[in-house]
Amino acid sequence: MTATEPPGWWKPKPTPHHSLLPPEIWLSIFEHATTSPQALDAHPQDPFDLPPLLSGKQVQKKIYDSLVTKRYLVRVCKDWYQLASGFLYREILIGRGRTLLSLRSTLLESHRRAEQSATQAEGTKFAPSLGLYTLRFGLATRTHTTLKDMTPTTELETLIDIFYCLPNLQILIMATGGGPYPHIPLGVLSSLGSHCGQSLRVIRWYRHPYPTAPQWAQLLRATPNLRILRFPTLDNNLGRLRSGPPLPNLMSLERVTSSDARPATTPPNQTYTSLYHLSTSSHDPPTFLLNSYGPQLACITI
């Protein structure tokens, strides 16, 4: 230090590095750093497109990898926490049952604070609910919670409050996992339909327990904008489909097979005017769908 140089504590604090760029630039950077390819695709993909389609497990792996980056971003500073929180909750993937409990608490508290800040005086900084950012929710639990007074059923019931906080949810993935649940509590699909039904574009159901026919009908009535529907394998899926309402925006049916609910020659009592993709098995094709919608199908995958 020279004689003319002021002491260090007199020097003005340097401008934080994140303040040198406008928030819009940082949001664009965060978007590129945290995007999981194909995780938010809400339209059927051409199997011949490049890059090739990823499997469900590959997409799930990329979401997990992206989550590490998102966690680092929100821990940098308060400003980055505000900017990156939306990316942290954009895709939610549940791998352990106990995570459902903490997620419910976080979302409900965030929802309460958002409602509280909305009623405060003008000029007060508004804190949006974290659930508003969520576009994809995946349940891929490998184990159930071991917390006291919790059962697999009560664990699933936490989804009632979670779906209440996700009004913009577009993609629901019930992925395969360990430790099957005994049944779907009645309120879970009711909450999903009531609070997420209008925004839902994709439902892929891989795991047990399967919704009953009345539950399917109730859910499909609440999802008029559904584009992609995958039924669980080994389920009487066409029986579920026939019991549901019209789905004018449905573009793709995945893993459908024949059903004994009605004779194969009987046409469905619903119309799927947008249906153009069918995924099925070669040994048990859905004859009634092929007979009724064959001329409008553009792609069939086996």
**Measured distance CA(215)–CA(57) in Å, rounded:** 27
Max CA separation in the chain (angstroms): 98
As a whole number, the mean pLDDT across the chain is: 82
Indicate the domain borders of the chain.
Answer: 89-111+127-226, 235-302
The Cα 81–Cα 23 span in angstroms is 12
39-97 residue pLDDT tens: 999 988 887 887 788 888 899 999 999 999 999 998 888 888 888 999 999 999 998 88
Give residue-wise pLDDT tens across range 155-197.
889 999 999 999 999 999 998 776 667 788 889 999 999 999 9
Strand ranges for the chain from DSSP E = 91-96, 136-143, 171-174, 202-205, 228-230, 252-256, 277-280, 299-301
Q: What is the pLDDT of residue 116?
A: 85
Report pLDDT for 8.
56
Cβ contacts of 52 within 8 Å, gap of 6 or more: none
- Cis (ω within 30 of 0) for the bond into 7? no
pLDDT in tens, 212-266: 878 888 898 999 999 999 877 655 555 566 656 788 999 998 877 665 444 433 4
pLDDT of residue 260: 41
DSSP string for 96-124: EHHHHHHHHHHHHHHHHHHHHHHTSPTTS
pLDDT digit string (tens) for 76-90?
888 888 889 999 999
258: nearest Cα among 225, 218, 289, 285: 285
Q: Please, how many CA atoms are within 13 Å of residue 74, restricted to the half-sphere of its CB?
A: 14
The two structure tokens encoding residue 247 = 């789905």
Give the pTM: 0.85
- In the DSSP assignment, the letter for residue 158 is H
pLDDT reported for residue 198: 97
